[in-house]
Amino acid sequence: MRVLGIDPGSHITGYGIVDSDKGNLTHICNGSIATDSKNSLTVRLNIIFDSIHKVICEFTPHAVVVEEIFYAKNARSAIMLGHARGVAMLCAAQHSLPVFEYSPMKIKQAIVGYGNATKEQVQKMVKAILNINLMPKPDASDALAAAICHIHHYRQGSGVRGQGSGVKNKTLVPDT
């Protein structure tokens, strides 16, 4: 099973791919999609979508994992974060990949062992678990952590369900 974790952000979107074969985890790649805040939001969203599209085409993952978000510093940053996350999820859907979501607490528990771990602790544990030489950048590390969390839950058969990308209830309603 090959899992793509994505950590969407309005400025930097991290991604990371992990393979799982009978419990053995292999780090495939990780990276960051950086967008210049001088560019318009439209251009930045296009860059995020296009970059994730290329990662999916190159590495052909079987599932996509994103962190659940319920809060943000303020409404404005929540909206901006939502834009990037929506585009990332859409990209997965357009590739017919199931999308799984886990809370930040569940991801930290899966990686470090407790839900209140710091970003640095997650980063170090991701590096150790995947036996990566270079420390992954924070956003890429969060993306890898999300992928590892999904693999753990999947192996434990915890009944986690992905969001299918099939369109069942299409309702474009032209009013006039």
Backbone angles phi, psi at 108, to 5 degrees: -65, -40
Q: Considering only residues 2-41, where is the footprint of a copy of itself by CB under 8 A?
A: 27, 29-36, 38-41
Long-range contacts made by residues 21-27, C-beta under 8 angstroms, separation at least 24? 23/155, 25/129, 25/130, 25/148, 25/151, 26/130, 27/130, 27/131, 27/132, 27/144
In this complex, which beta carbon is closest to a copy of itself, that of residue 22 or of residue 96? 96
- Residue 63 bridge partners (DSSP): 3
Indicate which single residue of 42, 57, 131, 159 sits in contact with a copy of itself (rule: CB under 8 A).
42
Based on the shown chain and the rule CB under 8 A, indicate whether residue 128 belongs to the binding site for a copy of itself.
no
Considering the candidates 21, 36, 50, 67, report the single residue annotated as catalytic.
67
Catalytic residue at 142? Answer: no
Backbone angles phi, psi at 68, to 5 degrees: -70, 145
Whether 68 and 7 have beta carbons less than 8 Å apart is answered as: no
Based on the shown chain and the rule CB under 8 A, indicate whether residue 167 belongs to the binding site for a copy of itself.
yes
Location of structure tokens 């994103």: 66
Catalytic residue at 21? Answer: no
> To the nearest whole angstrom, how small is the minimum distance from the Cβ of residue 18 to a copy of itself?
13
Whether 104 and 68 have beta carbons less than 8 Å apart is answered as: yes
Active site residues: 7, 67, 139
List interacting residues with a copy of itself (CB under 8 A).
27, 29-36, 38-43, 45-47, 49-51, 54-55, 69-72, 74-76, 78-87, 89-90, 92-94, 99, 132-134, 136-137, 140, 163-176
